[in-house]
């Protein structure tokens, strides 16, 4: 891409920053306020008496670190599993002609068209029959197949030239090596995006944990977050502080992932 | 299939870790407002375990909103917790509920506040144990009234008398809104009660007892009141305004809510507040509500479960529970509760009195099992009529249709 | 790349069975298809069966009214007279028609703006991706609060400029616009990343050649970027349409379907029919099947169209 920087570009970037950064900043600033200051009118733009009380309260309940740990285990394992099988399936659908390929593709896509909210009860019974209720394993395995991930990988792998694969096949490279040594490195930008997406999705997911987990020791952060909404009102400081804390790991992950990806891309470009 | 195998191994591991479960660990499903309430609840459970060392608890906290979905899951799989907190007993769980008339005898239920106890009855059975009772009523910002030099009449007033005064106080004391009102079917229905309207007949045979014309007139009145005295848009059903937080932040002169706020205000309101007298329409009426404890007959620990529920609903513990959570005890034999502050004490007394002097339908309407299938139509009706998507005539017709369908569906 | 010495034994191993080569793509698909079948497609099939019965969402043997009764196509014919369903369906289609193109335009603009590798861009990309890191429920909660008519920050800032309170969420039209804005805001980051990943695959020499020919920026965009980015654009559009048809969590936390029923979209209507009315699970299932058919047809058409163009 061209690297010339016009002043319009900076204007555009400034607008983008304003629109996307302000709500999260407001979220963060509000998390430093007490419940009464949150609802003060006129609102205080800057916290008048900034306090970390709600963060302290959240952390002083010892279990919160456990919820974090549960979420992390589930998100990481589930995302890795999801990306792995999505790359496999996406590759199959993009680069092979085989009997029933269209049917398989549509079958996978059709799974995307069923909102989980609607099939809650049948899914619950399946989970029970497989003995996955109230287990982190259930949380990791049950949602691991993601049609959108398969689709994303298929579309990206479509752009990889067939000639590379044919050359490898003429060299009698085994198929698994073609996948690992050619497809995976070339699809790295899409894999990175998909990994980020899956981590975020699994980390933020509420419905599956709600369905599967009953014991408090196995709660994820989102279950704890949802519990800020009581029968007669919302515990705003708690909700805001947990929201902020639950985003931090995602932020760190994204920054790290972006850096690795960028380096990978540059290295790839340098080789060419 | 390697993945599935891995899954099975992980599964086996996790169940292995789980296995040293106490023979009598009771699974409790509960909802709370805030972590403090959870801590208080755990305190009471520990107290029970101290007295009954064989019974421990696995407390499963769920958001109140999701209890219905949880019940559906339980009913689908046939496995329930041992005991659950609930405000209603939907039809699909009724076959699984312990019949307290059988466990404790048919007179046992008579020791509880009648209006809430009626809701626990299903024909000859008693399918729930009343835990606490709530009353709908109004709170005033007494400081604002004092500042404006307006007096709250001790022997009550009508909405027609009260509303202009709220406005006067708002103007003179510099408070943003004269009135805020919980956006809930239950709180709206209270206003209909105050003009003699109710949904169901008070006695068997159960019929829909709505005077449609009167319902419509009252609904029109309510919408006019909401437009003139409440924050704009509050009743649209989409507003993010929080009535309770507005009142606590002194942005409203009066707040129509209920007795469950007493504990909250005691902790968080930094001004002098009083509960009641709630303005009346043609009649004075509150609205009964509260919580029940349910025990499930699927429980392998049925004896421990019923013993625990009996403990929670016994007079002494009822007083302690009411005090701890700032609620009204459901058990009439509970010794006089000594609430945290004089304000709280006065509020409880005021609301309890309003509950006692309410018409019978303030208790029976919500007590009929058929009401569970009617609430949603009330909320949908009033919010849609408020924003003008439907007329009040259509709204009332919708409520009637839902109520009639609920009766037709049977128990 | 491949070391010929190392790969020497490979042909023999693989030629042991041609079966291996034929089975390979099926093996690649197996984990995904198996998991989807167990946890999504099998429950979906149950849903389709359910749509031919009246029954409760849960069938309890002791509760007779929940028992399934076969009614043929009754649940479908009833939809023809179900005003709530029809309004929700039309509103949903309207939402998709507005929100998906807007989201594509916004994400494409962001991707082109932020694709070049630089520190500033990496930072801005992180900010833009931020909303995608928060769950839609929280996104809805934050914006409901910002949009608040009497307590919201936006109206407060407007009031400083002497502008009266805007009923963002309390006006039927504004509420629908608010849902679109927040949906685009919440999803733009993810789609931008998909498109940036696609942009990196476009060989830079194409742009260099275009620059030498003095081709304008806009022509470069329409002649090089858009055609070569097409596979990624298809992802954004196909997934966008499906996700937009399924919009639910955001609406529940932003407007709860209000004012009145102005923002009750299809999934909320289905959910409420299934779980909040008595023994209407069959009707809800029929609504789901209609949604399923719409999405299936749309997806097949789009993929056909995409294949033809490439």
Helix segments in C202-248, DSSP class H = 204-212, 217-220, 226-228, 230-245
Residue A87 at interface with chain B, using a CB cutoff of 8 Å? no
pLDDT of residue A264: 56
Report in angstroms the alpha-carbon separations of B141 from B24, B235, B257, B287.
Answer: 49, 22, 13, 22
Could you give phi then psi for residue B57, rounded to 5 degrees?
A: -130, 140
On the question of pLDDT at A15 being above 70, the answer is yes
R_g of chain C, CA atoms, integer Å:
25
Reference A24, options B363, B241, C139; nearest CA is C139
**Domain segments of chain C as ranges:** 93-229
User: Chain C residues with CB inside 8 Å of A148's CB?
Assistant: 239
Q: Under CATH, domain B2-133+289-339 is a member of which superfamily?
A: Periplasmic binding protein-like II (3.40.190.10)
Calculate mean pLDDT across residues B118-140. 94
Instruction: Determine the Cα–Cα distance for residues A143 and C177; give it in Å rounded to an integer.
Output: 32
pLDDT of residue A173: 85
Instruction: Determine the Cα–Cα distance for residues B7 and B13; give it in Å rounded to an integer.
Output: 10
On the question of pLDDT at C57 being above 90, the answer is no
CB-based contact A155 C25, cutoff 8 Å = no
User: Chain A residues with CB inside 8 Å of B87's CB?
Assistant: 231
Name which of B62, B77, B260 is nearest A128 (Cβ-Cβ).
B77
Query: Which residue in this structure is represented by tokens 């980020």?
Result: A196
pLDDT tens digit string along C163-177?
989 999 999 999 999
pLDDT of residue A62: 61
Residue A227 pLDDT level (bands cut at 50, 70, 90): confident
Calculate mean pLDDT across residues C269-280. 85
Q: How many residues does chain B have?
A: 411
On the question of pLDDT at C39 being above 70, the answer is yes
Topology classification of domain B135-287+351-409: D-Maltodextrin-Binding Protein; domain 2 (3.40.190)
On the question of pLDDT at B21 being above 70, the answer is no
> Greater confidence, A233 or B278?
B278
* Domain annotation for chain A: domains and CATH numbers: 61-227 (1.10.3720.10)
On the question of pLDDT at B192 being above 90, the answer is yes
CB-based contact A41 B249, cutoff 8 Å = yes
Name which of B232, B242, B373 is nearest C278 (Cβ-Cβ).
B373
Contact A190, A152 (CB under 8 A): yes
Residue A272 pLDDT level (bands cut at 50, 70, 90): very low
pLDDT of residue B293: 97
pLDDT of residue B4: 47
Residue C253 at interface with chain B, using a CB cutoff of 8 Å? no
Q: Does domain C93-229 have CATH number 3.30.365.10?
A: no
Instruction: Determine the Cα–Cα distance for residues C106 and C187; give it in Å rounded to an integer.
Output: 10
pLDDT of residue B2: 45
Instruction: Determine the Cα–Cα distance for residues C107 and A198; give it in Å rounded to an integer.
Output: 19
pLDDT of residue A218: 92
pLDDT tens digit string along B32-72?
988 888 899 999 999 999 999 999 999 999 999 899 889 99
Calculate mean pLDDT across residues B79-94. 93
On the question of pLDDT at C180 being above 50, the answer is yes
Residue A1 pLDDT level (bands cut at 50, 70, 90): very low
State the DSSP code for C64: G
Report in angstroms the alpha-carbon separations of B342 from A55, B142, B272, B326, C4.
Answer: 32, 15, 11, 12, 90
Residue A188 at interface with chain B, using a CB cutoff of 8 Å? no
R_g of chain A, CA atoms, integer Å:
23
State which of A203-217, A255-269, B246-260, C49-63 shows the largest mean pLDDT.
B246-260
Instruction: Determine the Cα–Cα distance for residues A118 and A125; give it in Å rounded to an integer.
Output: 14
Q: Which two structure tokens, joined as six digits, stand for C261?
A: 């029923």
pLDDT of residue B136: 96
User: Chain B residues with CB inside 8 Å of C56's CB?
Assistant: 92
Instruction: Determine the Cα–Cα distance for residues C258 and B381; give it in Å rounded to an integer.
Output: 12
Could you give phi then psi for residue C59, rounded to 5 degrees?
A: -95, 115
Q: How many CB atoms lie within 10 A of CB A48?
A: 11
Q: How many CB atoms lie within 10 A of CB B201?
A: 15
pLDDT of residue C151: 87
Residue A156 at interface with chain C, using a CB cutoff of 8 Å? yes
Largest CA distance in chain B: 78
pLDDT of residue A265: 56
Could you give phi then psi for residue B129, rounded to 5 degrees?
A: -110, 120
Calculate mean pLDDT across residues C6-24. 57
pLDDT tens digit string along B396-409?
999 999 999 999 88
User: Going by C-beta distance under 8 Å and a sequence separation of 6 or more, which residues neighbour residue A97?
Assistant: none
pLDDT of residue A266: 52
Chain A: list its partners (3+ Cβ pairs within 8 Å). Answer: B, C
Q: Which two structure tokens, joined as six digits, stand for A194?
A: 């998909």
Instruction: Determine the Cα–Cα distance for residues B38 and A229; give it in Å rounded to an integer.
Output: 13
Q: Which of residues 3-32 of B touch A (CB under 8 A)?
A: 3-4, 7, 10-11, 14-15, 27, 31-32
Instruction: Determine the Cα–Cα distance for residues C58 and C43; give it in Å rounded to an integer.
Output: 14
User: How far does A35 lie from chain C, in Å, by closest CA?
Assistant: 14
Chain B: list its partners (3+ Cβ pairs within 8 Å). Answer: A, C
pLDDT tens digit string along C204-218?
888 888 888 888 888
CB-based contact B61 A227, cutoff 8 Å = yes
In percent, how much of chain A has pLDDT > 90? 38
End-to-end CA distance of chain B: 46
pLDDT tens digit string along B199-212?
999 988 999 999 99
Calculate mean pLDDT across residues C31-47. 93
Helix, strand and coil percent figures for chain B, each rounded to 5: 55, 15, 30
> What is chain B's mean pLDDT, rounded?
91
Q: How many CB atoms lie within 10 A of CB B4?
A: 15
pLDDT of residue C7: 40
Three-state SS letters, chain A: CCCCCCHHHHHHHHHHHHHHHHHHHHHHHHCCCCHHHHCCCCCCCCCCCCCCHHHHHHHHCCHHHHHHHHHHHHHHHHHHHHHHHHHHHHHHHHHCCCCCHHHHHHHHHHHHHCCCCCCHHHHHHHHHHCCCCCCHHHHHHCCCCCHHHHHHHHHHHHCCCHHHHHHHHHCCCCHHHHHHHHHHHHCHHHHHHHHHHHHHHHHHCCHHHHHHCCCHHHCCHHHHHHCCECCCCECHHHHHHHHHHHHHHHHHHHHHHHHHHHHHHHHHHHHC
Q: Which of residues 241-260 of B touch A (CB under 8 A)?
A: 242, 244-246, 248-249, 251, 260
Instruction: Determine the Cα–Cα distance for residues B224 and B218; give it in Å rounded to an integer.
Output: 10
Instruction: Determine the Cα–Cα distance for residues C27 and C29; give it in Å rounded to an integer.
Output: 5
User: How far does C307 lie from chain A, in Å, by closest CA?
Assistant: 11
User: Chain A residues with CB inside 8 Å of C146's CB?
Assistant: 23, 26
Q: Which two structure tokens, joined as six digits, stand for B303?
A: 């004896």
On the question of pLDDT at C5 being above 80, the answer is no
Calculate mean pLDDT across residues A244-261. 85
Q: Which two structure tokens, joined as six digits, stand for B262?
A: 């007493």
CB-based contact A235 B65, cutoff 8 Å = no
Name which of C44, C231, C300 is nearest A156 (Cβ-Cβ).
C231
pLDDT of residue B24: 85
pLDDT of residue B169: 97
Among the ranges given (B76-80, B318-322, C30-34), the one the predictor scored with the smallest mean pLDDT: B76-80
pLDDT of residue B218: 97
On the question of pLDDT at B336 being above 50, the answer is yes
CB-based contact A232 B11, cutoff 8 Å = no
User: Chain A residues with CB inside 8 Å of B88's CB?
Assistant: none
Could you give phi then psi for residue C23, rounded to 5 degrees?
A: -80, -20
Give the CB-side neighbour count of residue A81, counting CA atoms within 13 A: 25
Instruction: Determine the Cα–Cα distance for residues A179 and A190; give it in Å rounded to an integer.
Output: 15
User: How far does C152 lie from chain B, in Å, by closest CA?
Assistant: 8
Contact C248, C139 (CB under 8 A): no
On the question of pLDDT at B411 being above 80, the answer is no
Calculate mean pLDDT across residues C242-250. 92
Name which of A41, A81, A125 is nearest B251 (Cβ-Cβ).
A41
Contact A35, A237 (CB under 8 A): yes
Calculate mean pLDDT across residues B288-293. 94
Residue A66 at interface with chain B, using a CB cutoff of 8 Å? no
pLDDT of residue B253: 97
On the question of pLDDT at B6 being above 70, the answer is no
Instruction: Determine the Cα–Cα distance for residues B3 and A85; give it in Å rounded to an integer.
Output: 10
In percent, how much of chain A has pLDDT > 70? 93
User: Chain A residues with CB inside 8 Å of B131's CB?
Assistant: none
Contact C60, B95 (CB under 8 A): yes
CB-based contact B11 A81, cutoff 8 Å = no
Report in angstroms the alpha-carbon separations of B177 from B249, C150, C284.
Answer: 11, 10, 42
On the question of pLDDT at B16 being above 80, the answer is no
Size of interface A-C (CB pairs under 8 A): 264
Residue B235 pLDDT level (bands cut at 50, 70, 90): very high
Among the ranges given (A13-27, A254-268, B102-116, B373-387), the one the predictor scored with the smallest mean pLDDT: A254-268
Q: Which two structure tokens, joined as six digits, stand for C308?
A: 């033809």
Contact A150, A198 (CB under 8 A): no
Instruction: Determine the Cα–Cα distance for residues B363 and B345; give it in Å rounded to an integer.
Output: 23
Reference C126, options A255, B272, B249; nearest CA is A255
Contact C238, C109 (CB under 8 A): no
Chain C: list its partners (3+ Cβ pairs within 8 Å). Answer: A, B
Residue B357 pLDDT level (bands cut at 50, 70, 90): very high
Report in angstroms the alpha-carbon separations of B76 from A23, B61, B406, C149, C254.
Answer: 41, 20, 22, 42, 31
Name which of B31, B248, B270 is nearest A231 (Cβ-Cβ).
B31
Residue C17 pLDDT level (bands cut at 50, 70, 90): low
Residue B92 at interface with chain C, using a CB cutoff of 8 Å? yes
- Identify the closest residue of chain C to B378 by CA–CA distance: C260
CB-based contact A89 C33, cutoff 8 Å = yes
Residue C251 at interface with chain B, using a CB cutoff of 8 Å? no
Residue C172 at interface with chain B, using a CB cutoff of 8 Å? yes
Contact B257, B182 (CB under 8 A): yes
Helix segments in C147-203, DSSP class H = 153-160, 172-199
> Greater confidence, C73 or A173?
C73
On the question of pLDDT at B358 being above 50, the answer is yes
pLDDT of residue B134: 94
On the question of pLDDT at A95 being above 50, the answer is yes
Calculate mean pLDDT across residues C49-57. 90
On the question of pLDDT at B118 being above 80, the answer is yes
Instruction: Give the burial class of C70: count Cβ atoms within 10 A of its Cβ; 0-12 exposed, 13-18 middle, 19 or more buried.
Output: exposed
CB-based contact A135 B34, cutoff 8 Å = no
R_g of chain B, CA atoms, integer Å:
23
Helix segments in chain C, DSSP class H = 4-7, 10-15, 18-36, 42-50, 74-79, 83-114, 119-133, 136-146, 153-160, 172-199, 204-212, 217-220, 226-228, 230-245, 249-254, 266-275, 281-309
Instruction: Determine the Cα–Cα distance for residues C194 and A156; give it in Å rounded to an integer.
Output: 9
Name which of B31, B37, B268 is nearest A36 (Cβ-Cβ).
B268
ipTM of the complex: 0.87
On the question of pLDDT at B88 being above 70, the answer is yes
On the question of pLDDT at C277 being above 90, the answer is no
User: Chain C residues with CB inside 8 Å of A3's CB?
Assistant: 116
Q: Which of residues 52-81 of A touch C (CB under 8 A)?
A: none
pLDDT of residue C10: 46
Exposure class string for C249-288: b at 16+ Cβ within 10 A, else e: bbbbbbbbbbbbbbbbbbbbbbbbbbbebbbbbbbbbbbb
User: How far does B268 lie from chain A, in Å, by closest CA?
Assistant: 8
pLDDT of residue A198: 92
**Domain segments of chain B as ranges:** 2-133+289-339, 135-287+351-409
pLDDT tens digit string along C119-136?
888 889 999 988 988 888
Beta bridge partners of C70: C53
């Amino acid at each position: 891409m061209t690297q010339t920087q016009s002043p319009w570009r900076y204007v555009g970037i400034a607008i983008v920053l304003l629109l996307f950064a302000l709500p999260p900043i407001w979220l963060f600033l509000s998390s430093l306020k007490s419940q009464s200051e949150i609802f003060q009118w006129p609102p205080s733009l800057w916290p008048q008496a900034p306090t970390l009380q709600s963060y302290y309260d959240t952390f002083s309940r010892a279990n919160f670190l456990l919820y974090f740990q549960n979420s992390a285990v589930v998100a990481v394992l589930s995302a890795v599993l999801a990306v792995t099988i999505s790359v496999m399936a996406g590759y199959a659908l993009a680069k092979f002609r085989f009997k029933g390929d269209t049917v398989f593709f549509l079958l996978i896509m059709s799974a995307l068209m069923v909102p989980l909210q609607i099939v809650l009860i049948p899914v619950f019974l399946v989970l029970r029959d497989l003995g996955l209720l109230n287990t982190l394993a259930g949380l990791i395995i049950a949602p691991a197949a993601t049609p959108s991930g398969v689709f994303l990988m298929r579309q990206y792998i479509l752009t990889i030239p067939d000639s590379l694969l044919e050359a490898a096949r003429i060299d009698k490279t085994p198929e698994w090596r073609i996948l690992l040594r050619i497809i995976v490195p070339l699809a790295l930008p899409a894999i990175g995006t998909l990994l980020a997406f899956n981590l975020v999705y699994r980390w933020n997911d509420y419905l599956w944990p709600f369905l599967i987990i009953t014991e408090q020791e196995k709660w994820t952060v989102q279950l704890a977050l949802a519990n800020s909404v009581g029968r007669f009102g919302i515990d705003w400081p708690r909700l805001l502080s947990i929201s902020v804390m639950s985003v931090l790991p995602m932020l760190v992950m994204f920054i790290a992932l972006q850096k690795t990806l960028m380096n990978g891309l540059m290295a790839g470009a340098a080789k060419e | 299939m390697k993945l599935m195998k891995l899954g099975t191994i992980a599964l086996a591991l996790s169940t292995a870790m789980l296995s040293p479960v106490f023979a009598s660990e009771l699974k409790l499903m509960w909802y709370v407002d805030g972590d403090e309430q959870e801590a208080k609840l755990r305190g009471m459970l520990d107290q029970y375990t101290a007295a009954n060392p064989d019974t421990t608890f696995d407390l499963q906290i769920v958001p109140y909103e999701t209890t219905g979905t949880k019940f559906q899951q339980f009913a689908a799989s046939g496995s329930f917790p041992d005991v659950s907190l609930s405000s209603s007993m939907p039809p699909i769980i009724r076959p699984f509920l312990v019949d307290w008339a059988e466990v404790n005898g048919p007179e046992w239920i008579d020791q509880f506040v009648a209006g809430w106890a009626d809701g626990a009855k299903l024909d000859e059975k008693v399918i729930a144990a009343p835990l606490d009772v709530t009353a709908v009523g109004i709170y005033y910002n007494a400081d604002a009234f004092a500042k404006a030099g307006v007096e709250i009449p001790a022997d009550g007033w009508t909405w027609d008398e009260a509303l202009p005064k709220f406005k006067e106080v708002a103007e003179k004391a510099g408070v943003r809104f004269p009135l805020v009102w919980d956006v809930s079917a239950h709180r709206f229905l209270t206003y209909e009660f105050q003009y003699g309207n109710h949904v169901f007949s008070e006695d068997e045979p159960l019929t829909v007892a709505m005077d449609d014309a009167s319902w419509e007139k009252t609904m029109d009145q309510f919408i006019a009141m909401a437009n003139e005295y409440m924050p704009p848009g509050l009743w649209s059903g989409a507003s993010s305004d929080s009535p309770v937080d507005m009142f606590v932040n002194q942005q409203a002169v009066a707040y129509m809510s209920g007795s469950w706020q007493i504990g909250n205000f005691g902790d968080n309101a930094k001004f002098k507040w009083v509960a009641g007298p709630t303005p009346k329409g043609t009649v004075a009426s509150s609205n009964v509500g509260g919580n029940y404890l349910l025990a499930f007959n699927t429980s392998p620990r049925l004896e421990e479960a019923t013993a625990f529920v009996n403990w929670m609903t016994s007079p002494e513990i009822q007083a302690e529970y009411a005090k701890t959570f700032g609620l009204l005890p459901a058990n009439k034999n509970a010794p006089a509760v000594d609430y945290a502050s004089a304000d709280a004490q006065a509020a409880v007394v005021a609301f309890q009195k309003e509950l006692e002097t309410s018409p019978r339908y303030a208790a029976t309407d919500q007590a009929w099992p058929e009401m569970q299938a009617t609430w949603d139509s009330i909320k949908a009706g009033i919010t849609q009529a408020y924003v003008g998507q439907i007329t009040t005539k259509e709204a009332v017709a919708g409520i009637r249709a839902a109520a009639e369908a609920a009766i037709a569906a049977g128990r | 790349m491949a070391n010929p010495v190392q790969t020497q034994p490979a042909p023999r191993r693989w030629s042991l069975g041609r079966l291996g080569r034929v089975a390979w793509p099926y093996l690649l698909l197996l984990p995904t298809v198996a998991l989807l079948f167990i946890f999504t497609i099998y429950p979906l099939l149950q849903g389709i069966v359910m749509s031919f019965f009246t029954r409760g969402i849960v069938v309890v043997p002791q509760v007779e009214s929940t028992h399934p009764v076969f009614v043929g196509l009754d649940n479908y014919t009833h939809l023809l007279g179900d005003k709530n369903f029809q309004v929700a369906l039309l509103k949903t289609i309207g939402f998709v028609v507005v929100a998906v193109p807007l989201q594509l335009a916004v994400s494409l603009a962001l991707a082109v703006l932020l694709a070049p590798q630089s520190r500033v861009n990496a930072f801005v990309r992180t900010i833009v991706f931020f909303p995608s890191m928060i769950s839609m429920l929280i996104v809805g909660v934050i914006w409901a609060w910002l949009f608040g008519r009497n307590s919201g920050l936006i109206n407060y800032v407007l009031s400083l400029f002497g502008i009266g309170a805007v009923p963002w969420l309390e006006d039927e039209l504004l509420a629908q616009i608010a849902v679109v804005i927040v949906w685009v805001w919440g999803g733009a980051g993810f789609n931008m990343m998909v498109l940036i990943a696609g942009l990196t695959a476009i060989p830079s020499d194409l742009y260099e050649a275009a620059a030498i020919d003095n081709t304008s920026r806009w022509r470069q965009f329409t002649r090089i970027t858009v055609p070569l980015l097409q596979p990624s654009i298809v992802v954004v559009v196909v997934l966008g349409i499906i996700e937009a048809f399924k919009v639910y969590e955001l609406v529940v936390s932003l407007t709860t379907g209000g004012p009145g029923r102005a923002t009750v979209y299809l999934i909320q209507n289905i959910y409420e029919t299934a779980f909040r009315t008595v023994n209407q699970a069959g009707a809800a299932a029929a609504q789901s099947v209609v949604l399923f058919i719409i999405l299936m047809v749309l997806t097949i058409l789009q993929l056909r169209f995409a294949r033809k163009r490439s």
